[in-house]
Amino acid sequence: MRIGIFGGSFDPVHEGHIHLAGLARRAASLDEVWFLPCRISPHKAASPPTAGETRVRWLEIATADLPWARIENYELQREGASYSYKTMQALAEMHPGHEWFWIMGGDQWTALPTWKHPEIIAGLASFIVLARNGSIVPERPGYRLQTVTGEHPASATEIRRALAAGETGIPFLDPRIGA
């Protein structure tokens, strides 16, 4: 099976996440996309996300009608920071025989050299990079890369701001999420 791993805080998950996961799935002919909510991002340790159980519930709502979507809570079951290389190693070991794809945005592709052991991920998975229209995604020697162009106007920062302000009817957010 061809499986895409789409990690993130999903705090909250919004239509942009679902749209981009669908783009990646279609472009790479993935059988499934596994949404992987992180416990604590090493790059965002100063601002911990909403409780993992809540984010999983939000993902269940957002993906309920998507037969190709699965929620993988491996990182939520581990203590401490979520390191992608450890997760990719564990998933490949727990689910052998699959072809793996790590889905990420262009901003994360740019930041990849700051990740802990990205070469381990590269040895186990191809990368699908979601590039904003007009963005150039540079190749990296030794990394299998597929660039998917597309974007969505949703902004997680703006959605979090609106939720904190008590707003309702927030664009790109299912009304059952964040309530």
If pLDDT is split at 50, 70 and 90, which confidence band does 43 have? low
Backbone angles phi, psi at 148, to 5 degrees: -120, 120
- Which tens digits make up the pLDDT trace of 51-91? 999 999 999 999 999 999 999 999 999 888 889 999 999 99
Percent of the chain with pLDDT over 90: 79
46 or 38, which is more confident: 38
* Mean pLDDT for all residues in the chain: 92
In a domain, 164, yes or no: no
Q: How far apart are CA 74 and CA 91, in angstroms?
A: 8
Of the candidates 31, 103, 102, 95, which has an alpha carbon nearest to the alpha carbon of residue 69?
31
Q: Residue 55's domain spans which residues? A: 2-151
If pLDDT is split at 50, 70 and 90, which confidence band does 45 have? low
In a domain, 166, yes or no: no
In a domain, 133, yes or no: yes
Least confident piece of the model among 12-16, 45-49, 154-158, 174-178? 45-49
Number of domains in the chain: 1
Q: Is the pLDDT of residue 175 over 70?
A: yes
The reply to whether the predicted model has a pTM over 0.75 is yes
In a domain, 169, yes or no: no
Q: Which CATH number goes with the domain that contains 52?
A: 3.40.50.620
